[in-house]
Amino acid sequence: MKITKAQLRKIIKEELSEVSSAAPGAWLPNDLGELAPLVNKVGKQLNWDVGMAMAFAVAILEDVNAHDMAAEVNRLLLKM
């Protein structure tokens, strides 16, 4: 699945709007702390491919046994 930068920006803007209205200040990547550089390393390994990043997000949830959340994220991503 290919997505343009403009589409990605729009999706992120919409999601941020929903998150900020639901829980002001809540942005989960901020909770990574010293693990934040890992995100950049993974992105680089995936060649900045958005589809692969989405697959990785679902896979990491599966790996930590968050199967219901993985399925929910997968359903959300399939709508894009």
Per-residue model confidence as pLDDT tens digits over 24-68: 556 677 778 888 889 889 999 999 998 899 999 999 999 999 999
- How far apart are the C-alpha atoms of 67 and 11, rounded to whole Å? 24
pTM metric for this prediction: 0.62
- What does the block give as tokens for 43? 């992105």
